[in-house]
Amino acid sequence: MEQARSSWVIYLSLGCALLFMLLPFPLEWRVIRPDIATLTLFYWVLALPHRVGVTTAFFLGIGQDLIEGSPIGLSSLGLMISVLVLMSNYQRIRQFDGVQQSLMILVLLMLTSGSEQWLRNGLEMPGLPWLGLIGLLSSTACWLIIREMLRLLRRYYEVN
Amino acid sequence: MQQTAVDVVATVTSIVLAPVDAWDRLVAAMNSRRDLQEEVLRLQQENRVLKGQSQRLAALLSENARYKALLRSAQLIDDELIAAQITAVSPDAARHIVVIDKGVLDGVEVGQPMLGEEGLMGQIILTGDRNSRAVLITDSAHALPVQVNRSGLRAIAEGSGMIDRLLIRHLPAKSDIRVGDLLVTSGLGGRFPNGYPVARVVEVVVAEGEAFALVTAEPISALDRGRYVLVLQRTVGSGAES
């Protein structure tokens, strides 16, 4: 009935999350920057798996690569794999409490960044240092905040 | 596509950062007249000193050119500089890549060296029309041929992925290299012209029984500070490669 309504909210929030990557960060502290774009994508997949899926993940990955200046498609693969996992388990993950869900998100983030590292190895590009794991933890810590913010947004604009 | 992206991303960044820039300008505008006068005075003095030094440099360069002509060696390369500003740092935490605000339209080309105030910083890897990306010498995928200024010993300085460290591996343990030595570009490979300061040796480790020394050096340029950089453009003859 109200299909395709307010879908701009989804793309706007993903766009804003990408803009977060552009904010200046000291060179040595970039590893701890939370990956807001990926978390936003995970939220929308979890909330509206019939609207946001692998295609969105693909294009978000392209966006990330263009911003980073890395080979195009490098981030897409990891995002698409984790979105697939998320889509096949969304009903279960929705039932988890905060801590369990955060841990699940951590696993998905590790899957995302793990596939990216694997591709980087294949392309003989430098991979993340071990310190990069801190970034995964800081992203995980942001999950509940992002979830609540986007949930408010989704309810206010009645995105479905 | 990536070349267009350089420009698009840079434009979006400047829009996102517009409030920050405006604030900086406001602060600068509120600097008292006195401060500014003092600074102008200081800069004028510095400029006079530098001009004095460059007079000597011109004389030395022409002298050097004459010597080289006598020796029939490679023609002296005349370097032209493009002043640029670092506008962003790539969010990719595994790389040391920065964005500068000059591009193809300003004469920037892939492979041109980027200098800081004190020494070499990196090189251009991707150009857009008005913006470019440059990789810093500390990026773990970067390496450059250097020479110890004191002894003339040649080596390859690799980026370590840490912003204040370069590594020299595969240098025989008996090599003439000491803590405090200045490393300058050697000009081998033809990418970087010779003689630009790169780093200073901070540690030489020779493990017992090892054939090679592990040398650590600290870049001369403060790679994570400062906004202003120079891109080296070669104009006259590239004799180094012939």
Q: How far apart are CA B200 and CA B198, in angstroms?
A: 7
B182 burial (CB, 10 Å; 0-12 / 13-18 / 19+) is: middle
Alpha-carbon distance A95 to nearest alpha carbon in chain B (angstroms)? 34
Phi-psi category of residue A152: left, alpha or beta, with phi > 0 → left and psi -120 to 50 → alpha: alpha
Which residues of A sit within 8 Å Cβ distance of B? 19, 21-28, 30-31, 33, 66-70, 72, 120, 125-129, 132, 135
Task: Render pLDDT for B197-227 as a digit per residue (tens, 0 to 9).
Answer: 999 999 999 888 888 999 999 999 888 887 8
Cβ–Cβ gap B97/A69 under 8 Å = yes
User: Looking at the predicted structure, is the pLDDT value of residue A152 above 60?
Assistant: yes
SS3 state of residue B86: strand
Cα B56 to chain centroid, rounded: 23
Most confident of the ranges A140-149, B27-36, B68-77: A140-149
Q: What local confidence, expressed as pLDDT, does residue A4 receive?
A: 54
pTM over 0.90: no
User: Residue B72: enclosing H or E segment and its boundaries?
Assistant: none
Minimal-distance CA residue of chain B relative to A135:
B93
Which comes out higher in pLDDT, residue B159 or B81?
Answer: B159
Alpha-carbon distance A160 to nearest alpha carbon in chain B (angstroms)? 29
C-alpha count within 13 angstroms, C-beta hemisphere, residue B82: 25
Q: What local confidence, expressed as pLDDT, does residue B238 receive?
A: 42
- Mean of pLDDT over chain A: 90
Option in B2, B91, B224 nearest A28 (CB): B224
Task: Render pLDDT for B61-86 as a digit per residue (tens, 0 to 9).
Answer: 888 878 877 776 555 556 688 899 99
Q: How far apart are CA B49 and CA B56, in angstroms?
A: 11
Q: Any CB–CB contact under 8 A between B5 and chain A?
A: yes
Q: What local confidence, expressed as pLDDT, does residue B154 receive?
A: 93
User: Looking at the predicted structure, is the pLDDT value of residue B1 above 80?
Assistant: no
